[in-house]
Chains A and B, each alone.
Chain A
């Protein structure tokens, strides 16, 4: 008896979102990325189109990480002290399709950098690389409301992706996005009801739904990944069933989450039975990222170059029809 693959019929597709603007579009990027547009669950090419491959962004911090294990910091070497050089290395050597710049230096409990200092960092990274940028605030509402408008202003016209708008703090960043022509990351704590609510709040302010990427927080492998996975999958199912307030592409922050796990960062002397740290950490990050690809993630924000290379190979394979 011939086997027939059951094919699901879906009512709607995910929004397409383009990030980055070339000189023709009024920016200075040398490349742009477009994500979304899926008309079925991920990689089911026989069921519905998946017009754009998921993209890998590499994260750049604007303060030198001091707590990274050696296996993570070694591939980067000296550039970790300069966001612009770090970004350049990610793009030129490690094949990052986007750079995700995290403005941690502005954290009021840390270095407490000023909006002008932060703006300078954004400028330097924009000059150093040609790929589109994701720009993250500190996650502390009051400070983000000072720095994000400045970061947005100095990158106006570059069509960056700014994060994040939350249920309790969305007005300032949304207004900045609208004014400077950027895209916006909406965020909720692994909660489908709240992410939908945030999407409504920002669209009520006049930001078109086609300019949003959703971020539902991310759990690392072994540390809540299953829960994040099921929420993301449920979100995508709602989108495919026609829920326009959940039809946005999805972003996952994998690097920082995966490398929180002791399985990723633990030293060989402490856990000899777990094998060489050299392989273990990147594998932990790659396994987390690969899993999220199947939960319908469009943008992965990653850390380790070896994990990035593995995931990009996996995406190549999965995109073959």
Chain B
């Protein structure tokens, strides 16, 4: 299970401020803490308020690269910011993200090929987010097929089935879990699946509990990765335990310690 640490995002006040002041220490601390907590990759998002997105992305990636070699998920819709991030981040990067819209695929798939990056594909098309799993799987198939045509193996494609806040879209998580399950039958090898976890708990009063249970249920459906808060220890413990129950690790009394030791050696 890949946890993509979500904290380096201009939507957070401390990060927005750090980008504005070019305050490297805050960003580097967040990078180090997330990796130490078990994040296998770090999401990097300059936030919506940034006037010079490419410049901000370049600074963020350079700043993070001074303290960790962890793969980075370059999280932007802007073409120039994506390119700036990919060029500095190096191998193993993740493009976050394309959608199923042809004009987006035409832009981002060649970038994934050129930089040897993985790519996250949101199940959105010209008509928006489909209501249920049927429409989402259709878009997922379109993305996987377009990627294969461009020369990208399905296991470098992460399908994001769009998890929405459960307080206003209560039936949404169910559709997401079904999409995750059905994506595993799309191709061989199957595409990977990812969710932007924290979105599910937006506006609720028990955010950590909702995140935690949602992640475990998605893992049971076959989820491969999540953009999530790696600093939430209970979330990480739940994730490790869920993987254990699926026999992806061998049990021992200190299995939480074992998992963290394994991560530390990566």
Pairwise interchain contact A203-B261, C-beta atoms closer than 8 A: yes
Which of the listed residues A192, A194, A245 has the most CB atoms from chain B within 10 Å of its own CB? A245
Q: Closest approach, in angstroms, between the C-beta of B114 and any C-beta of chain A?
A: 25
Pairwise interchain contact A193-B250, C-beta atoms closer than 8 A: yes
Q: In the complex the two chains form, what is the Cα distance from A143 to B172 in whole Å?
A: 63
Pairwise interchain contact B253-A245, C-beta atoms closer than 8 A: no
Does B25 sit within 8 A of A, measured CB to CB? Answer: no
What does DSSP make chain B's interface, helix, strand, loop or mixed? loop
Does B12 sit within 8 A of A, measured CB to CB? Answer: no
What 1/0 flags go to B242-266 for Cβ under 8 Å of A?
0000000111111001100110010
User: Residues of A within 8 Å of B, CB-based: how many?
Assistant: 17
Contact of B251 among A193, A201, A203, A244 (CB under 8 A): A193
Q: Closest approach, in angstroms, between the C-beta of B181 and any C-beta of chain A?
A: 23
Q: In the complex the two chains form, what is the Cα distance from A209 to B253 in whole Å?
A: 18
What does DSSP make chain A's interface, helix, strand, loop or mixed? helix
Q: In the complex the two chains form, what is the Cα distance from A244 to B263 in whole Å?
A: 9
Q: In the complex the two chains form, what is the Cα distance from A200 to B253 in whole Å?
A: 9
Pairwise interchain contact A196-B250, C-beta atoms closer than 8 A: yes
Pairwise interchain contact A238-B250, C-beta atoms closer than 8 A: yes
Chain A residue numbers with a CB within 8 Å of B252 are 193-194, 196-197, 200, 245
Q: In the complex the two chains form, what is the Cα distance from A194 to B254 in whole Å?
A: 10
Pairwise interchain contact A192-B250, C-beta atoms closer than 8 A: yes
Q: Closest approach, in angstroms, between the C-beta of A188 and any C-beta of chain B?
A: 10
Q: In the complex the two chains form, what is the Cα distance from A244 to B260 in whole Å?
A: 10
Pairwise interchain contact A244-B254, C-beta atoms closer than 8 A: no
Does A106 sit within 8 A of B, measured CB to CB? Answer: no
Chain B residue numbers with a CB within 8 Å of A204 are 254, 257
Chain B residue numbers with a CB within 8 Å of A209 are 261
Residue of A nearest to B249 (CB): A243
Chain A residue numbers with a CB within 8 Å of B265 are 244
Q: In the complex the two chains form, what is the Cα distance from A203 to B262 in whole Å?
A: 12
Which of the listed residues B250, B252, B257 has the most CB atoms from chain A within 10 Å of its own CB? B252
Does A246 sit within 8 A of B, measured CB to CB? Answer: yes
Pairwise interchain contact B250-A244, C-beta atoms closer than 8 A: no
Chain B residue numbers with a CB within 8 Å of A27 are none
Q: List 30 A-B contacts (CB under 8 A).
A: A192-B250, A193-B250, A193-B251, A193-B252, A193-B253, A194-B252, A196-B250, A196-B251, A197-B252, A197-B253, A197-B254, A200-B252, A200-B254, A200-B258, A200-B261, A204-B254, A204-B257, A209-B261, A234-B250, A238-B250, A242-B262, A243-B249, A243-B250, A243-B258, A244-B258, A244-B261, A245-B252, A245-B258, A245-B261, A246-B250
Chain B interface (Cβ < 8 Å from any Cβ of A): 249-254, 257-258, 261-262, 265
Chain A interface (Cβ < 8 Å from any Cβ of B): 192-194, 196-197, 200-201, 203-204, 209, 234, 238, 242-246
Q: Known contacts A200-B258, A203-B261, A245-B261; can you find 14 more A-B pairs with CB under 8 A?
A: A192-B250, A193-B252, A196-B251, A197-B252, A197-B253, A200-B261, A201-B254, A204-B257, A242-B262, A244-B258, A244-B262, A244-B265, A245-B258, A245-B262
